[in-house]
Structure 1
Amino acid sequence: MKGKNLSDIDLFTEEVSDCPFPAYKEIRESGRVYQEPRYDNYVLTHHNDIQSLKNDQVFDARHGVDPAGRFSEGTYPDINRTDPPRHAKMKAFLYKSFSPKAIQSWEDEISKIFVEHFDNIACDNSEQSFDIVHHVCYPAPAAVICRMLGFSDDRREDFQRWSAALVERLGTNISEEQRNALIEMARFIRLKAEEKEKNPGSDLMTEIVFAEVDGERLSREEVVANGVFFLAAGHETTANFLSNFIYQICTISGLFESLQSDRTLLKPALEESLRLESPVQNICRTVKDDMSIDDKFILQNDRVMFSLGAGNHDPDVFECPEDFNLNRDNLNQHLAFGYGHHQCLGARLARLEGEIFANILLDRYEKIELAGDFERQPGNVMRGFKSLSIKCS
C-alpha cells in the first residue's frame, strides 16, 4: 500500500466507531485501499472507488453489510445479499410497494403514526424532556414498516430487541442472547408468512410470500430471510437517520432557527444530514476474481468493505466535508443509501419519514436542546443512537 503504515487503525474499536471520520481521512489520504486488521477486509474510502459497487461482474453481495463475513454461500439470502439477474427480478416484484406513487399514498398514515407518538410524549411528560429515540425514532418507523408488511405493531419492544441483536452482532462476536433473539425473529416471520399464505392481504409480506422469480415461488427460507430483512431494515436505518438529524439540530448552531424561518431548507438539510452522518457507514462485497487496486492485489473470495461514510466525507467531491452546509449543489451525489444495483429500495420511504418527523419538530417546538447523556449504536456498520435525551420548549 502506498503511503504510511496504518496497520494500527482498527475501525471496529469503540473509540473509532464513536467518531470514525478522522480514521477514514487518514486512510483515504494514504492511498486507495487499506487492509483493516480485525477481519482483513480491504477498505475503500474514495467516493469514486465506492461507485464501483455497481459492477456485479467484479463483486458479489453474499455478505451484505457484515464485515466479519459470517454469511456463507449456504445461507438463504435476502434481497440485500442477492446479485443480478435474480436481484433485479426480486426487486421488480417489490418495487410496487416502494414506487413514488405507493410511498406517497402512505403519507397521511405515516403522519398520523408520528403525530400519535409525539402526542404520547406530551401526555407522559409535562417537562418536555425525554428520550427521543425511545419515544419516536425507533417506534414510529417500526409502526410504519409493520403496517406496510401487514403486521400489527403490538410487539414493538420485541421488534426493537430483535433489530438491536441484528445490529449489535455486526462486526462483533454474536452472543447467545443475540442468537436467541434472531431465532425468535425468524420464527415470528415464518408464522406471519404462513398466515399470509392462508389469508393473503394487500401488503408487503403477502407480496413476498407469493413472489415468483423465473416462474417459481421463493423458497420458504427466502421468504423468511426477506421478511426479516424488511422488518429490520425498514425501521433500523430510518431510526438512525432520525436520531442523527435530531442530534445535529441540537448541536449545530443556528440550524433549527434556519429551518424554522425557511422550510424550503428542510429537504437539503435532511440530505446533508444523510451525507454527514450516514445511517449505514460500511457495506461489504466479495471479490469474484483476482484483481488489483493500485499496487494492492486482492484475491478471489477476499472481502472489500465500501465505506459509504468515508465516501461522503471525500473532499474531492464535497468541499469542506466536515461542515454542515445547506447550500451544497451536489447533495444528490451522497452515498448514504448505497450505490448501483443495491441502492436502498426504501430510500423514498426514509426520506418521507424524515420530512414528516422534522416538520412535526418545527411545528411543535421553539427550541430543542440536549438534556443529558446519549448512547450511540455499537460497531462501525450502523451509525445512530440507542438513546438520546432532549429537552423541548
Structure 2
Amino acid sequence: MSGVRVTADYELCRLILRDRRFGIVTPNHPALPKPIRWMMTKTDLGLPNLGEPPSMLVTDPPDHTRYRRMVGQAFGPKAIATLDERVTEVADDLVERLSSKPRPDLIQDFCTQLPVTIIAEILGLPDTMHSTLLKWGDSGAPLLERGLPWSTYRHAIEDLAEVQLYFDRYFDGLTADPQDDVLSMLVTGDELTRREQVANAALLLDAGFLTTVNMLGNGIVLLTSHPDQLELCTAQPELWPNAVEEILRYDGPVRMTGRVANCDVDIADQHITAGSLVLLSLAGANDDPAVFPDPQQFDVTRDNAGEHLAFGSGIHGCLGARLARLEGAVALRALFERYPDLSLDGPPIPHPLRNLHAYRSIPAMLSAA
C-alpha cells in the first residue's frame, strides 16, 4: 500500500464510485489513523454500528447485493410513487402545526418530523417511537465521521446498546408474526443472522431520515438567503424538484467518502496499488466547473443540477435517494407556500460534525399567508 490519494474531480469521483475494482472502506483499514482503529477495538462488535459490517453501508458484494436486494423494492420507483399522497399529508399537517409556534426551531419542529414519520411507517415501527428514533439518530450520526472525541463516541455506543436490545426483541415478534413492511422482509427473505437483521434495520432507520433532515435544513437556509431563487420556486412550483437537486449539489449533506483499491489500478495517470485508500470529495465534485458552470452560483433552474454526486453513485448509491427527493420537494413547497414571509430569527447553528454538513438548530419567524 502506498499512501492515500484524494480527488475532487467530478468525472474521476464518479468513475471510482462505479468501478468494481474499488471497494468500501472498513473501520480497521490500515490507512486510517491509529486512534480510529484503536477506538474500533473498544467497540462491542455485536452492536449495530452504521459504520461497521454487516451494515450494507460498509459491506461489498456478495453480502451487500444480498442485503440490498431484500429491501430495495420498498425504495424503488413504484413504491415511492405511492407515498406522494402520504408525504403531502404529513407535510401539510406539520406546516399547519407550526402556526402555533410563531418562532419555531425549524430543525426540531419541522425538518426532523416529516422524514422520521415516513421512515417509521415504511419500516413498520409505531409512531410512539418517533422521539426515541430521533434520539438514536442524533447520537448515531457521528459514527459516520472519522476522528470523533472519545466522549461522543462512547455516547453513541451506549445508545447503540439500546438499539440492539429494541430491535432484537422486535425481530423476535416479527419472526413469529411477520407484517407487510420492510423489516419483515429482513426476516422472511434470504436467511440472515440476527446480527445482520439488526445492523441493517438500524442503517435503514438512520439513513432513512438523517439525510433528509440535513437536506431540508440546508435548503431552508439557502432559500432564505437567496430570496430571488425562492421567489422563482413560489412563482413556478414545478421548479421545486429541481431546486432540491440544486440544494443537494450546492450544499449536500455528505462532504466526502472513500474507497479502497481491491487490486492494482492504473487510473488518471496514477498507479494505485492494491489496498490503497482513495478519498473522494463529493462536495468538490459537485463544485467542478467543468461539469457545473459557475458552480458558486445557487441556481434552482440549473439544467444539470440532478447530475450531482450528493447521493454517491454505483452500487453504494443512496438507497433512499428517491424518497429524500420526494420529501424535499413536497416539504419545502409546503413550508414556503404556507409561510411566504418566513425568515430566520438569528443565525442557524451548525451541527458540530465535519463530514456530515447540517444544522442543529434553525430559529425562524413565521408570517402566514
Deviates more, 1:372-381 or 1:308-317: 372-381
- Does 1:130 pair with 2:107? no
Match of 1:50 among 2, 10, 13: 13
- Cα separation, partners in 2 of 1:151 and 1:370, compared to 1, 3 Å: same
TM-score normalized by the length of structure 1: 0.81
**TM alignment of 1:72-221, pairs within 5 A:** 76-123=53-100, 125=101, 128-169=102-143, 170-171=145-146, 172-175=148-151, 176-212=154-190, 217-221=191-195
**Identity score, percent:** 28
Alpha-carbon distance, 1:157 to partner: 2.6
- Cα separation, partners in 2 of 1:179 and 1:141, compared to 1, 3 Å: same
Alpha-carbon distance, 1:304 to partner: 2.1
Alpha-carbon distance, 1:97 to partner: 0.4
Mapped contact 1:312–1:335 kept (Cα < 8 A): yes
CA RMSD of aligned residues (A): 2.5
Which residue identity does 1:53 align to in structure 2? L
- Cα separation, partners in 2 of 1:327 and 1:360, compared to 1, 3 Å: closer
**TM alignment of 1:280-359, pairs within 5 A:** 280-291=254-265, 298-359=272-333
Please give the alpha-carbon distance, in whole angstroms, between the structure 2 residues aligned to 1:262 and 1:49: 35
Mapped contact 2:22–2:259 kept (Cα < 8 A): no
Counterpart of 1:272 in structure 2 is 246
Mapped contact 2:282–2:310 kept (Cα < 8 A): yes
Alpha-carbon distance, 1:296 to partner: 6.2
Alpha-carbon distance, 1:284 to partner: 2.1
Alpha-carbon distance, 1:238 to partner: 0.5
Mapped contact 1:50–1:308 kept (Cα < 8 A): yes
Deviates more, 1:348-357 or 1:193-202: 193-202
Match of 1:367 among 322, 335, 341: 341
Mapped contact 2:95–2:335 kept (Cα < 8 A): no
Counterpart of 1:237 in structure 2 is 211
Alpha-carbon distance, 1:385 to partner: 1.0
Please give the alpha-carbon distance, in whole angstroms, between the structure 2 residues aligned to 1:276 and 1:378: 20
Mapped contact 2:21–2:265 kept (Cα < 8 A): no
Which residue identity does 1:56 align to in structure 2? R
Alpha-carbon distance, 1:257 to partner: 1.5
- Cα separation, partners in 2 of 1:375 and 1:168, compared to 1, 3 Å: farther
Please give the alpha-carbon distance, in whole angstroms, between the structure 1 residues aligned to 2:164 and 2:349: 27
Question: Gapped runs of 5+ residues in structure 2?
Answer: 46-51
Counterpart of 1:23 in structure 2 is none
SS class of match (1:130) = coil
- State the Cα deviation string for residues 72-109 of structure 1 (Å, max 9, x = none): 9x853222222233323332222220121111112222
Mapped contact 1:61–1:80 kept (Cα < 8 A): no
Which residue identity does 1:350 align to in structure 2? A
Alpha-carbon distance, 1:180 to partner: 0.5
Which protein is richer in helix relative to its size? 2
Alpha-carbon distance, 1:299 to partner: 4.3
- Cα separation, partners in 2 of 1:363 and 1:327, compared to 1, 3 Å: closer
Alignment: residue pair count: 346
Alpha-carbon distance, 1:270 to partner: 1.1
- Cα separation, partners in 2 of 1:191 and 1:328, compared to 1, 3 Å: same
Deviates more, 1:203-212 or 1:51-60: 51-60
Alpha-carbon distance, 1:63 to partner: 4.9
Counterpart of 2:48 in structure 1 is none
Alpha-carbon distance, 1:263 to partner: 1.0
Question: Gapped runs of 5+ residues in structure 1?
Answer: 1-34
- State the Cα deviation string for residues 319-339 of structure 1 (Å, max 9, x = none): 111111233222232111111
Please give the alpha-carbon distance, in whole angstroms, between the structure 1 residues aligned to 2:241 and 2:187: 35
Mapped contact 1:190–1:224 kept (Cα < 8 A): yes
TM-score normalized by the length of structure 2: 0.86
Q: Which portions of structure 1, spanning 4 or more consecutive aligned residues, are displaced by more than 4 angstroms?
A: 67-72, 290-299
Match of 2:232 among 232, 240, 258: 258
Mapped contact 2:214–2:357 kept (Cα < 8 A): yes
